Structure 1
Amino acid sequence: MNPSQCFHCGNEIVKKDEILFDDRHFCCNGCKTVYEIFSQNDLSCYYDFQAAPGATPPDIKGKYDFLANEEIVTKLLDFQESATAIVSLYIPHIHCSSCIWILENLQRLQPGIIASQVNFPNKKVRITYHPEKTNLKEIVGLLCAIGYEPYISLENYTEGKKKVDRTLIYKLGVAFFCFGNIMLLSFPEYFEVGEFWIEQYKGFFRWLIFALSLPAFVYSASGYYVAAWKSMKQGLLNIEIPIALGIVVMFIRSTVDIAFDYGQGFFDSMCGLIFFMLLGKLFQQKTYDFLSFERDYKSYFPIAITKVLPDGSEEAVQVYDIKKGDRLLIRNQELIPVDGILISEKASVDYSFVTGEAVPIEKKSGDKIFAGGKQLGKVIEMEVLFSVSQSYLTQLWSNDVFQKRVAQKHKSITDKISHYFTPALLLLSVVAFIYWIFIDVSTAFNVFTAILIVACPCALALTAPFTLGNVLRIMGNRKLYLKNAIVIEQLAKVDTIVFDKTGTITTNKKTAITYEGEALNEFELRLLKNALRGSNHPLSRRLYDFIPPQEKQEVKHFEEVIGKGVFAELEAGTVKLGSSQFLQHMSENTHKKTKVHVEISGVYKGSYVFNNQYRQGLEQLFEALAKKYQLVVLSGDNDGERRILEKMLPTGTQLVFNQKPEQKLAYIDALQQQGKNVMMIGDGLNDAGALAQSNVGISISENVNVFSPACDGILDASQFHKIAFFLKYSKNAMLTIYMSFGLSLLYNVVGLSYAVTGNLLPIVAAIIMPLSTITIVSFVTVMSNLFAAKK
């Protein structure tokens, strides 16, 4: 590296301030200290990703002393428990792979930091740390010491305001000012007006045009030079290189024209080029911002929570209707959707969704409980402190811990094209320039610049993300909420669909329930109703609604064995209900119907028989799916309804009964071993393992707040009959991507053919480039909306 540049930050070194350490040159003690910290902690490969990636550490001297105040820190934290705290910090300096690498290795620099995760597009780092071993003030001090000072403002955290970067707007404004004035001053030359005063002042006007072009050339286009330079330093060829080269060539050529009086140059074209490219960039940025907004604020999970009304009655409400001061009822395995205060005597909360640690944390009345925890055991009540942060739930759902490692084919297509695109483009422009230089010098420069500009693959790069983003939005409007864009591609590959039975192809709403056995008295019904209050199983919820309202009683102990049944201990006795095996009561099930057996205080009473009502449109859905997919019904119940299902469902549908949760998972794994792409559709409670194992896991939601981060999508139960549409739509989405790739490549071929033959001016190329992006975005929007409109 150049010894006149700082090894850490790359800034020019003032000779009197130069520090030599370890045979390397530094501009100040701060940069030298950062280098020492990295070297001592075996992190010096930070400098291998990029030359001089760091920033000069700021002098903070007491700036963050306010972080010693616990009340302030509590407002900044996302999550806080005795052994774990999580904070998200906005760090403006994040700009390259070196930044990501060092910020995701903070645990090696400071004891007490457990993990850190960078969100590169938002320039945020999410740090998990042990509050007894370190604190937020020390962490912020460390970040400042290594040149990554966070931007902390309590206003940002309390009101959700974001610091807006208007640099692109300013650059666009400067480019427009320069472009407009240069065009105005160039009119006499355009129309070849030969008046005496124009001829006399021609030289003055040309140099004035030169001066006006400088702000656009130096400031407005600076982003292209920086990106091109960084790319070349890393030995890569990105698309900014031909763009930067085209601008520089036009500027040098135009300056030579004016200096030697060959003509007025191409400053108008150059400034127009910069303006239209920045306009295209702004359009692209707004497109991504729009998709991000849609994702964060419109993709509400169709999950509900039970609200306790002032009269003591219970009501299921959507999560985003929860307000501060509301009283909520949280059952076993339910997600706690908001921060709140525990009202019940005690609770056991599993925060593995947030921290990755599956050890439950015990809470007592009056303690604060955080959003994202999962209630274990008996039912609890809590008071809401804040309304639901939907983006926080999205963040939990999208946590890397629960991501399935799948290849992103559409990305690899874009990457492959880009990889060969730039070298091919540079080669073509050089060959065309050499060809034309022997024919017409002026045309040679025009051809060279026009090729570099017209073939910009911005439209190519925008095709996949915009198509999939729009499809995500449309599916969200149709009440299928997908985790991310990759799921759409996975849906398009599915060839086998596995359905759970209870709560998935059967509905909770219309089930006829009858009781067989010794009649239950009022006291026993009260015990049973209170025992069922804490369970989230579809059969439990139906039975709870079926039993008449009873006086509430406290449950001392509650245990729910997934796939088997429930045990509850109350003041007046115990209740055990579930399968006959769980109760160890081997009654003969002659009709082989779905039954829930009941045992009260050790005495077997009888069973509730469920005559399942299947979802509306089930037969038509299976008929449509059977034409293209292998279908399986996988159930934990007995095979009492085999004959009914065989009559209802198409020939060839596999029916598999008496499956425990682990057997469901193994069944799907066996299908995958045969090379099948499996989609599992379940209720999210007993099927969590199977949903995680499948290529695509869809959880059906029917006013039950069972949140499964293992699933890839949540489908509102009312849209169950549209599953065939969603699968077809995902295939059409991928078709749209391939069509738009073809359209983009066709545009490039046509544009290049005009550019190579000298029939395309650089300014026209600059106008066409953002227009091509608008064309592609319009095309994918229209196509995805047309496919969505098809029945």
Structure 2
Amino acid sequence: MDTKNCFHCGLNIDVKEEIIFDEKSFCCNGCKTVYEIFSTNGLSCYYDFENAPGATPQDIKGKYDFLDNEAIAAKLLDFKEEDTHIATLYIPHIHCSSCIWILENLNQLQEGVSSSQVNFSKKKVRIVFNPNQITLKAIVHVLSSIGYEPYISLENYEGKKKDVNRELTYKLGVAFFCFGNVMLLSFPEYFDVDDFWLDKYKGFFRWLIFGLSLPSFLYAASGYYVSAWKSIRSGMLNIDVPIALGLIVMFIRSTVDIVFGYGQGFFDSLTGLVFFMLLGRLFQQKTYNFLSFERDFKSYFPIAVTKITADKEEVSCPVYDIEKGDRLLIRNQELIPVDGILISEETAIDYSFVTGEAIPISKKSGDKIFAGGRQTGKVIEMEVLSSVSQSYLTQLWSNDVFAKKDNHTYKTLTDTISRYFTPAILTLAIATFLYWIFIDVNTAFTVFTAVLIVACPCALALSAPFTLGNVLRIMGKRKLYLKNATVIEQMAKIDTLVFDKTGTITTNKKSLIVFEGSPLNDMEFIALKNLLRGSNHPLSRRLYDFLPAQSIILVHDFEEITGQGIQGRVGDYFIKIGSAHFVGQDLAPSFQTNVHIAINGSYKGKYVFNNQYREGLETLFETLSKNYKLKILSGDNEGEREALTKLLPIGTELIFNQKPEDKLVFIENLQQQGSNVMMIGDGLNDAGALAQSDVGISISENVNVFSPACDGILDAGEFSNLSYFLDYSKKAVKTIKMSFALSLLYNAVGLSFAVAGKLSPLAAAILMPLSTITIVSFVTVTSNYYAKKCKKAV
């Protein structure tokens, strides 16, 4: 019976049941309808990414009626506000680039969907939509109608189930079974047994070997063919191309040998090759897990939040220690780490990190507030509804939508080398084959396959990920938490370090603060303390900790003006705290760090801060000055110039009276001069400069000033070890280069034997995982060695 393939889903269709539309064949009205939808909405290029990428839409009438229940639908939402809902749905059918393309273009297909983002490895799509225009149930129906029906199980969303992918294990088991039996059946051929074997059963056993090799060739090795084919279609050759080509050539050659009686072929080598390659891949997977390459942020993520105890004390605690029912204090510009209920009278929440919309949303007492929002305004209290989701904060920090700069243009060492490696190997293999074909046909095929396998750049491709993965883990243990592995390579290129002063090279202390001016009465002290309670600025925190404990009074009209100060109304007092200009004073320049106070328009005086610089600052700058240009930016006046000049190495540039926008422009100017700049700031007033710099590091004290603008967060206690981290990043890149050299040396030696016809495909298959093990062991041991060696040098 004649059959055709459906243009949408690729399934075979009987010509009698064929549906013709737009000169294309479809297996059912569902596939035809999906095609019509895509064509009508200008999305027909969906089919350009891959032939028949779709799935047949299923009949789901009534299946998702339970989503009409708002309580049930709410469990599927990550975020819920008046005009914006966010849901993450698991879609099993996601399998190729066309799936990603159509799912990330849902906003063109359906009104009310603002954006959608696919996590390909987890087969999930994060959909932002307007509930006033479309419901979650309608979105599920739209997805189902185009062949991407989501799998919804509330148990999964409550964390009761965790899917484990055992496909690699199954394939390895099949490959081992085939390899063992093919080797066993090949023994008579190896020993060339006469009589019984040659006369009666040779043909039978050869075809049995052929049959046993099929599961290994077709199933166990299928991942290599799929990866290679997609790589070829995309126009970028990956490391699976030579492997897949070698397997196919070996299979065809072996089949020809058996069919025409030339010999037993290379099925023993073929099945052995597949087994050892999968064994190497399993080793890679297990080693990734051992190195915690995916970084468990619950172990060490340095975001703390202020918890109010039963005794009304305010204590700082890690976010992952927060439990349901706890009461939290959230200051101005702090990130809300958990979902909860607002207890305070009112506030405004900036959800730009979550939704991309920068307009703050007003909240009143009793309203639900969601993790990821930044509190703007006076200090608030909230009650926790659920424990913190560290994975959510990690996703927020790594979210490309709100990334500060385009790292996609950055070319890593692996990108640079692998771009030319695979084409070079294919060229060499073909040239060698053409040379040997005129000498010995059997040797030509053997050499061709051996070259492709022995030169497989697996070890080369693993060098950087394993090195950087291990370095990320080690840096995390030592309290520098980087956003991704690329930052390490960027750190290694830094030649200029720019430091913020207040809160970065200075530390928060409760002493060495002196008040100069008219004495404040008890009520003014209470009002001052309560206004300071809402600010996260380093000077505000120092002064708040310095002042004695006072009763808590509600603050109205709180406002924090970046680079100037804070103001608000507490009872009968309107207080302004900040620079002299901010409080309305035209005072002569002061050579001290101070904070001025005005109450009800009357100037009261100032608090003078005798800055306490971080321990080890002088030694750190002396070490850094040998390899880097050092610069300090400060929003304060020049009162600290003399002290800093004595403390820091000659040549350290000091720039004062810098507003946040001035710091950003300063970084831009350095980059235009060709400098690779690392900015080290407190993450609050320095967000713009951190975002502009090549690498931005935020110093974390014990307050929640987390910002996605930075590339890394450094625990304040490890500030003196900054030179260690910079030196270690260079050693990491050196380790990668050494492992590249080792891998290329292995390839050169292996290729010399393969080209000469002295290396069998099976031997090459055994050497390939051995080289992988060697490289992974080398980079792990070397990066651990440098971690200890660099530490001693600090």
Q: TM-score range by the shorter chain?
A: over 0.9
> Structure 1 pair 612/415, CA: closer, same or farther in 2 (3 Å)?
closer
Match of 1:622 in 2: 621
Separation (CA, whole Å) in 2 of partners of 1:225 and 1:605: 77
Summarize the alignment of residues 385-396 of structure 1 with structure 2, pairs less than 5 Å apart. Answer: 385-396=385-396
Q: Which shows bigger deviation, 559-568 or 259-268?
A: 259-268
> Is residue 90 from structure 1 mapped to residue 97 from structure 2 by the alignment?
no
Instruction: Give 1:377 shift.
Output: 0.9
> Structure 1 pair 569/235, CA: closer, same or farther in 2 (3 Å)?
closer
Separation (CA, whole Å) in 1 of partners of 2:589 and 2:413: 57
Q: Residue deviations 1:492-523, cap 9 Å, x none?
A: 12111111111110110364111111222222
Q: Which shows bigger deviation, 457-466 or 410-419?
A: 410-419
Summarize the alignment of residues 46-57 of structure 1 with structure 2, pairs less than 5 Å apart. Answer: 46-57=46-57
Match of 2:765 in 1: 766
Instruction: Give 1:344 shift.
Output: 1.1
Number of corresponding residues: 789
Summarize the alignment of residues 321-336 of structure 1 with structure 2, pairs less than 5 Å apart. Answer: 321-336=321-336
Amino acid at match of 2:724: F
Match of 1:174 in 2: 174
> Structure 1 pair 629/227, CA: closer, same or farther in 2 (3 Å)?
closer
Instruction: Give 1:160 shift.
Output: 6.0
> Structure 1 pair 705/415, CA: closer, same or farther in 2 (3 Å)?
closer
Separation (CA, whole Å) in 2 of partners of 1:693 and 1:234: 33
Q: Which shows bigger deviation, 65-74 or 37-46?
A: 65-74
Match of 1:42 in 2: 42
> Is residue 600 from structure 1 mapped to residue 599 from structure 2 by the alignment?
yes
Aligned to 2:5, the other structure's residue is in SS state coil
Aligned to 1:4, the other structure's residue is in SS state strand
Amino acid at match of 2:626: K
> Is residue 658 from structure 1 mapped to residue 660 from structure 2 by the alignment?
no
Match of 1:496 in 2: 496
Q: Residue deviations 1:327-386, cap 9 Å, x none?
A: 101111111000011111212111111111111111111111100111111111111111
Amino acid at match of 2:278: L
Amino acid at match of 2:71: E
Q: Residue deviations 1:689-746, cap 9 Å, x none?
A: 1111211111111001112111111110000011111111111222222222222222
Q: Residue deviations 1:428-487, cap 9 Å, x none?
A: 323323333444343332212111211111222222222222221111111111111221
> Structure 1 pair 72/302, CA: closer, same or farther in 2 (3 Å)?
same
Separation (CA, whole Å) in 2 of partners of 1:233 and 1:314: 59
> Structure 1 pair 576/232, CA: closer, same or farther in 2 (3 Å)?
closer
Match of 1:210 in 2: 210
Match of 1:755 in 2: 754
Please tell me whether the aligned partners of residues 702 and 717 of structure 1 are also in contact (alpha carbons under 8 angstroms): yes
Please tell me whether the aligned partners of residues 258 and 265 of structure 1 are also in contact (alpha carbons under 8 angstroms): yes
Instruction: Give 1:237 shift.
Output: 4.1
Instruction: Give 1:647 shift.
Output: 0.4
Instruction: Give 1:684 shift.
Output: 1.1
Instruction: Give 1:122 shift.
Output: 2.4
Instruction: Give 1:426 shift.
Output: 3.0
Separation (CA, whole Å) in 2 of partners of 1:646 and 1:35: 71
Separation (CA, whole Å) in 1 of partners of 2:589 and 2:327: 42
Match of 2:681 in 1: 682
Please tell me whether the aligned partners of residues 506 and 615 of structure 1 are also in contact (alpha carbons under 8 angstroms): yes
Please tell me whether the aligned partners of residues 578 and 597 of structure 2 are also in contact (alpha carbons under 8 angstroms): yes
Match of 2:641 in 1: 642
Separation (CA, whole Å) in 2 of partners of 1:7 and 1:571: 72
Separation (CA, whole Å) in 1 of partners of 2:48 and 2:724: 49
> Structure 1 pair 55/285, CA: closer, same or farther in 2 (3 Å)?
farther
Separation (CA, whole Å) in 1 of partners of 2:224 and 2:670: 50
> Structure 1 pair 253/182, CA: closer, same or farther in 2 (3 Å)?
same
Amino acid at match of 1:628: N
Match of 2:568 in 1: 568
Separation (CA, whole Å) in 1 of partners of 2:647 and 2:5: 76
Instruction: Give 1:232 shift.
Output: 4.3
Amino acid at match of 1:97: S
> Structure 1 pair 782/410, CA: closer, same or farther in 2 (3 Å)?
farther
Please tell me whether the aligned partners of residues 50 and 234 of structure 1 are also in contact (alpha carbons under 8 angstroms): no
Please tell me whether the aligned partners of residues 228 and 238 of structure 2 are also in contact (alpha carbons under 8 angstroms): yes
Summarize the alignment of residues 428-577 of structure 1 with structure 2, pairs less than 5 Å apart. Answer: 428-509=428-509, 511-577=511-577
Match of 2:164 in 1: 164
Instruction: Give 1:236 shift.
Output: 5.3
Instruction: Give 1:235 shift.
Output: 5.3
> Structure 1 pair 635/226, CA: closer, same or farther in 2 (3 Å)?
closer
Separation (CA, whole Å) in 1 of partners of 2:331 and 2:135: 34
Q: Which shows bigger deviation, 396-405 or 433-442?
A: 433-442
Match of 1:582 in 2: 582
Separation (CA, whole Å) in 2 of partners of 1:177 and 1:641: 74
Separation (CA, whole Å) in 2 of partners of 1:341 and 1:67: 24
Summarize the alignment of residues 110-259 of structure 1 with structure 2, pairs less than 5 Å apart. Answer: 110-159=110-159, 161-194=161-194, 196=196, 200-233=200-233, 237-259=237-259
> Structure 1 pair 735/346, CA: closer, same or farther in 2 (3 Å)?
same
Please tell me whether the aligned partners of residues 300 and 477 of structure 2 are also in contact (alpha carbons under 8 angstroms): no
Aligned to 2:347, the other structure's residue is in SS state strand
Match of 1:99 in 2: 99
| Root-mean-square deviation (Å) | 2.2
Please tell me whether the aligned partners of residues 599 and 605 of structure 1 are also in contact (alpha carbons under 8 angstroms): yes
Q: Which shows bigger deviation, 437-446 or 379-388?
A: 437-446
Aligned to 1:250, the other structure's residue is in SS state helix
Separation (CA, whole Å) in 2 of partners of 1:238 and 1:485: 21
Q: Which shows bigger deviation, 316-325 or 597-606?
A: 597-606
Separation (CA, whole Å) in 2 of partners of 1:551 and 1:749: 75
> Structure 1 pair 290/73, CA: closer, same or farther in 2 (3 Å)?
farther
Q: Residue deviations 1:5-63, cap 9 Å, x none?
A: 22222222221221111111112212211111111001112222223222222222222
Match of 2:403 in 1: 403
Separation (CA, whole Å) in 1 of partners of 2:573 and 2:386: 38
Q: Residue deviations 1:587-646, cap 9 Å, x none?
A: 4465x2111111223322221111111000000111111111111111111111111111
Please tell me whether the aligned partners of residues 3 and 25 of structure 1 are also in contact (alpha carbons under 8 angstroms): no
Separation (CA, whole Å) in 2 of partners of 1:505 and 1:248: 62
Please tell me whether the aligned partners of residues 412 and 486 of structure 2 are also in contact (alpha carbons under 8 angstroms): no
> Structure 1 pair 17/786, CA: closer, same or farther in 2 (3 Å)?
same
Amino acid at match of 1:459: A
Please tell me whether the aligned partners of residues 595 and 610 of structure 1 are also in contact (alpha carbons under 8 angstroms): yes
Instruction: Give 1:417 shift.
Output: 4.1
Summarize the alignment of residues 329-408 of structure 1 with structure 2, pairs less than 5 Å apart. Answer: 329-406=329-406
Separation (CA, whole Å) in 2 of partners of 1:650 and 1:375: 40
Match of 1:783 in 2: 782
> Structure 1 pair 126/216, CA: closer, same or farther in 2 (3 Å)?
same
Match of 2:310 in 1: 310
Instruction: Give 1:409 shift.
Output: 8.0
Separation (CA, whole Å) in 2 of partners of 1:559 and 1:411: 43
> Is residue 319 from structure 1 mapped to residue 348 from structure 2 by the alignment?
no
Separation (CA, whole Å) in 1 of partners of 2:419 and 2:586: 67
Please tell me whether the aligned partners of residues 296 and 394 of structure 1 are also in contact (alpha carbons under 8 angstroms): no
Separation (CA, whole Å) in 2 of partners of 1:395 and 1:466: 22
Separation (CA, whole Å) in 2 of partners of 1:699 and 1:606: 32
Separation (CA, whole Å) in 2 of partners of 1:710 and 1:332: 17
Amino acid at match of 1:560: E
Q: Which shows bigger deviation, 93-102 or 698-707?
A: 93-102
Separation (CA, whole Å) in 1 of partners of 2:221 and 2:165: 17
Aligned to 1:583, the other structure's residue is in SS state coil
Instruction: Give 1:199 shift.
Output: 5.5
Give percent identity, aligned residues only. Answer: 71
Q: Return the TM-score normalized by structure 2.
A: 0.95
Separation (CA, whole Å) in 2 of partners of 1:136 and 1:292: 36
Separation (CA, whole Å) in 1 of partners of 2:605 and 2:253: 94
Separation (CA, whole Å) in 1 of partners of 2:657 and 2:404: 28
Aligned to 1:542, the other structure's residue is in SS state helix
